[in-house]
A and B are shown apart, each in its own frame.
Chain A
């Protein structure tokens, strides 16, 4: 019964720091309407919906219920998936499972967030253990800073190396009309921006955004009829590694390492650096762009700074990373992982316009959660065997 699955349409909002002109379901509707138009489908063609966000950000639970007018979920099978920062990638993996099972032919996948509607640190804190972790918890940035410190201590990287990643992503965002922050910065500007938590400067981290993204998946029975060049999903992987914050192996992203090994194995990829053509990484801060591509096996441990300084991950380089500008330019958290998925799909489908990487055969997209969780998807131009 198992079916091959392809992405046949994508849609996203123009992401902003604040969208007071729409409420949640209206924001969701904007992305859904665009995805349907992209696939040239009507809501009646959709068999099921997967939707997700981090409800504690808005303080409104059950988006699967209250958004149906906007999501198209009225009188259709709809489920919510929510896994923290990885949510946007998890909803895509859930949609893949539904279509792949053969039980639903066309599935609409939605990720969204209105981060402007509450206090991000206050909301994120509720994701951690109230007795052991919350009493001394220091917000989302602190765990990332601790990861970066550990990496720096192990491999001798510097804050300049991190800043170089931020310069890259912010430059790439100039090509993406949907990105929230579209302003180039220099290395010096990143390093001169306020230190938030050593070694992370303000310009090393993502903003908070309001935005939504929708992706339509179809089985091999209809995918090529809907879209002549669909984006085939070759493999997915998900890894969650620990219970308490101190359990993590700081300086290495174990979930990324194990997940990507599974991904490469499933797709028969031996040298990801040569075989993958573009990466949309859920990278909420610059140092993740160093550490995590080592865990992916793109380069060896400690080799990322050199690889990035040499321009390999810039547009036009060997393996462009975040042509969209990535998370550093746009971060509506529950949508963020799905935006990575949609951007990777657009690269494979040849629809990425000003940010298109030429001749994409394989694209990688991921989701990351502040608990050092990673979800990921391998996208391909060819139909999987």
Chain B
């Protein structure tokens, strides 16, 4: 039998022409992260919830937020998993290395969680409530990857 044929849609050397905007709130966050290693969040004037990623509107109160607060950079693991199956990361086309830690970090002072990688050097230390700190990239560009991962510190 002939080899199975599939329709492959690829762009060759071209890149996909998406040009996403992060807005003024996202820009401030990424500029502070890149230039000063600071983690900026925004507080709702009504319910006082501190949001990260920062955004213009508190969905629950439906009011505009302008009250910026610095949070972290230390925090705790809010929840996590350790991924043990490999899959292709559609953002990069590369296979994700396994095992890897994937967590939701509660920065000190924030109320929502921040999704990121957690180092799995010592799996036993990875627990909900464990203290963590970010390991910053040496070449920050203003993206989520300006934090390489979080590591447990005690």
Contact = CB atoms under 8 A, between A and B. Distances in A.
B31 interface: no
B52 interface: yes
Q: Closest 8 A-B residue pairs measured CB to CB?
A: A145-B81, A246-B113, A122-B90, A150-B79, A135-B144, A250-B79, A197-B81, A153-B128
A130 B18 contact: yes
Contacts of A242: 59
A197 B82 contact: yes
Contacts of A243: 55, 59
30 contacts: A119-B88, A121-B88, A125-B91, A130-B18, A131-B26, A131-B144, A132-B53, A132-B115, A132-B144, A135-B143, A135-B145, A136-B116, A136-B144, A138-B81, A138-B102, A139-B83, A142-B83, A147-B79, A153-B127, A194-B85, A195-B84, A196-B83, A196-B85, A197-B82, A197-B85, A197-B102, A198-B82, A244-B115, A246-B113, A251-B79
Contacts of A246: 52-53, 78, 104-105, 112-115
B20 interface: yes
Interface string A186-203: 000000001111111000
Question: What is the interface residue range for chain B against chain A?
Answer: 35 or more
Contacts of A125: 90-91
Interface string A302-321: 00000000000000000000
Interface of A: 59, 119, 121-122, 125-126, 130-139, 141-142, 145-147, 149-150, 153, 194-200, 242-248, 250-251
Interface in B116-132: 116-117, 127-129
Contacts of A121: 87-88, 90
Nearest to A130: B20
A136 B115 contact: yes
B96 interface: yes
Nearest to B91: A134
B144 A146 contact: no
B68 interface: no
A138 B18 CA distance: 21
A141 B102 CA distance: 11
A122 B84 contact: no
Nearest to A241: B59
Contacts of A146: 79-81, 102-104
Contacts of A244: 53, 112, 115
A246 B26 CA distance: 16
B83 A138 contact: yes
Given A131-B26, A131-B144, A250-B78, A245 B83 contact: no
